[in-house]
Structure 1
Amino acid sequence: MISLYLARRSWAHRLPPRLKLVGLAAAGMALLPASDPLVLAALLAGVLGLYGALGRDGLAQVAAVRPLALVLAVILALHWIGGSLTDGVVAVLRLLVMVLLANFVSVTTRMDDMLDAVAPLFAPMRLIGLSPRKPALAVTLVLRFVPVLLAVFAGLREAYQARTGGRTSWRLVAPFALQALALSDHVAEALTARGGADGLKD
């Protein structure tokens, strides 16, 4: 449960993890000033093309953004009420592009490889006797668990919809928090059994 990695032999899987993470950061900075809906829509189409290059299973990973539907609708509505529908569309497209890009990195990068890519950032910690793998593992888990938690929320929402006919509810917050805590406990136990951050590669 600690990975949504999609096993493939594609060009995306062969790219160095560090390059993918740097590219993701650069894309985030480049998207912030973007304000043209047509440009953002074209970028979204390009990102969907990346998933399409992974085949049918790759396109299925786009469903990871479904739990964001309500949040995106609220953002759009608030901008619309505020008098600027265009700004709302821009905000929604920007979020979709960023979430899908982050998820793409997750599904095309093994966790061990991502950890190795992040660890050098914390290498100076060795000077004070601390292991750089522990903070690197924390960063890696954050990157990895964003799509995992989105998938958890999607399952809860679908179950709620099947039982009540409603699309979603604030009542899902409590079971979502409980499942997130349970998931963190399972991951902590698995990491402890494997020797923690230092034993992850074994």
Structure 2
Amino acid sequence: MISLTSPVETRAHGWPAGAKLAALCLATMGLFAMDSVVGHLAACAVMLALYAAPGRVFFRSGMARLRVLWPFFVIIALWHVVTATPAEGAIIALRLVTAVGLANLVTMTTRLSDMIGVVRWLAAPLRRFGIETRGLELGIALVIRFTPMLAGKGTQLARAWRARSPRRPGWRIVTPFALCAIDDAEHVADALRARGGV
């Protein structure tokens, strides 16, 4: 899951979060059960149609979030060209973009509080055995919330490096990126402590 925000309100925003997540799980299992390039092309076309249905603004926003996948496409393409298995590479690449695209579609149309509610409902049996699940719920929420934010900060660091140097950033931005992540983690920890902790 890449995104958390949608620039426009869609019909899917009113659908139950549990139903959307269940449909996502079934669709992902279907993608992994399918070994046909044509089938994966059709699935990818359906995913793109779902993005296009709410309009041009929603489609552009969704596609912009999927641009982070291009390095994986390059690695997959190079590997399968070297191993002379282009059909398998096409299936893996299409499966990747379709699965991530569908997951991003769910997060774009589902509030974080609704997702936490689904996690709380799924973890209910654990509470019967005396297991505290609040930490699990909070951890999942933080991962969903901060993954796109950290990705955005990484993009900003790379742009800042390119503005100051003709060389590619590469490993040079790893340290400042790690420091940004640690700083954000400390702020979140302080905020949690101020509210009574977990």
TM-score, normalising length: structure 2? 0.80
CA distance in 1, matches of 2:69, 2:169: 11
Stretch moving more, 128-137 or 72-81 = 128-137
- Count of residues in Structure 1 that have an aligned counterpart in Structure 2: 195
Describe the superposition over 1:8-42 as per-residue Cα deviations: whole angstroms up to 9, x where unpaired.
44221111000111111111211112222222122
How far the C-alpha of 1:154 sits from its partner, in A, is: 3.8
CA distance in 2, matches of 1:137, 1:17: 17
8 A contact 1:51–1:61 mirrored in 2: yes
**Aligned-pair Cα RMSD in Å:** 2.7
**CA 16–191 in structure 1, closer or farther in 2 if over 3 Å, else same:** farther
1:67–1:153 Cα contact (<8 Å) kept: no
User: Distance between the aligned counterparts of 2:144 and 2:18, measured in 1?
Assistant: 13
Give 1 or 2 for the bigger CA radius of gyration. 2
**Which consecutive segments of 4 or more residues in structure 1 shift more than 6 A?**
none
TM-score (norm 1): 0.79
CA displacement 1:29-88 (0-9 Å, x = unmatched): 111122222221221222122222233332212211222211220111111101111211
Give the structure 2 partner of residue 36 of structure 1: 36
CA contact (8 A) 1:41 1:93 kept: yes
| Gap regions ≥5 residues in structure 1 | 198-202
* Structure 2, unpaired ranges of 5+: none
Contact 1:44 1:96 in 2 (8 A): yes
**CA distance in structure 2 between the partners assigned to 1:51 and 1:126 by the alignment:** 38
Equivalent positions of 1:27-176 (< 5 A) are 27-59=27-59, 60-164=61-165, 169-176=170-177
Shift of 1:159: 4.3
Q: Which residue of 1 aligns with 2:25?
A: 25
